[in-house]
Structure 1
Amino acid sequence: MTEEQKPGELKVKKNLSLNLIGGKRHRGFGAGAIDLSDIACIIIDNGEAYIDVGALHGKSKIEKGVRFSPDRSLTPDGRQCWVVWVAVERHEEGSFYAGATACEMWIDSQAMRGWKILADHVNKLDYAMKRRVILDELAEQEKEALKKLLMEHNPQWWERSTDELKEGLS
């Protein structure tokens, strides 16, 4: 029991989630089987990285209303965008970015068509949850945008992150 804690009072564990849903834990389909509360969804579009929790369900700002196909030729005028899954973990020193994977997609906002391989997105989400770092496909501008976002979101988490992640974004 801590000094601030009163007798009989339960200690509340703080949620270390990067996922910005107002502190609520994920309770969607399969909740309990897989905990997605410590996964952040980051979109990189036109060299800008931002958090968009809707990407977890394929409903990010840039995906809404877009009809996706696994046939890349159906999106000839699309622009390349990325979903980056980032896992946050805690150890005795504090929280840190533990895994990060990037998934490619192409979006034509005018035609409301897009290309992505759903299986790749699911597999890369799984890899991030398993604390792997797979960011090789990102261009330098995209790596810089992601690095900047992670550093600005929480500098302490960035400092405690693995060398593998830091090198992957260098």
Structure 2
Amino acid sequence: MKVGRVTLSDRAHAGVYEDRSGPEIERMVEEIFAEPIEFVRILLPDEEDAIVEALRRLADREECALALTTGGTGPAPRDVTPEATRRVLQKELPGFGEIMRSRSFARVPTAILSRATAGIRGRCLIVNLPGRPSAVRDCLELLGPAIAECLDHIRGFRPRLRERK
């Protein structure tokens, strides 16, 4: 299964700090799915047009089944991931963002500031995740079954889920 992961961070892109959320996406995807995974890795600053181009590339040219973004979903002026995502989606699936906010709110009351969304472009499911590694972990644990079901609908392929302990 081919999975794109896009880290969106001005500071990580500039080398101010290490990207920890992108590697956490990989760790969690491999923990959730029993399929062999091929990752396409992208690290970008918070620039809407660059995000749009990256998501189009992952869905259209790389033919990823799943594209996961991390970062840029908050209310700050440079947080533009949801806007960029909506520009490439053919069908929006707002339930992904709704359940992530609902689940996260129980632990972090500021989770309601997230504007994360998800949807489909062609045969690719695109999901915006939070920027913190712990939040990436919490959200992906929750979304695994829905991701598998969605991929079955759009690709005719249901990735096997690993047994959860």
| TM-score greater than 0.5 by the shorter chain | no
Higher helix share: 2
TM-score, normalised via structure 2 length? 0.30
Q: Which has the higher strand share?
A: 1
* Higher RCO, 1 vs 2 (CA within 8 Å, ≥6 residues apart): 2
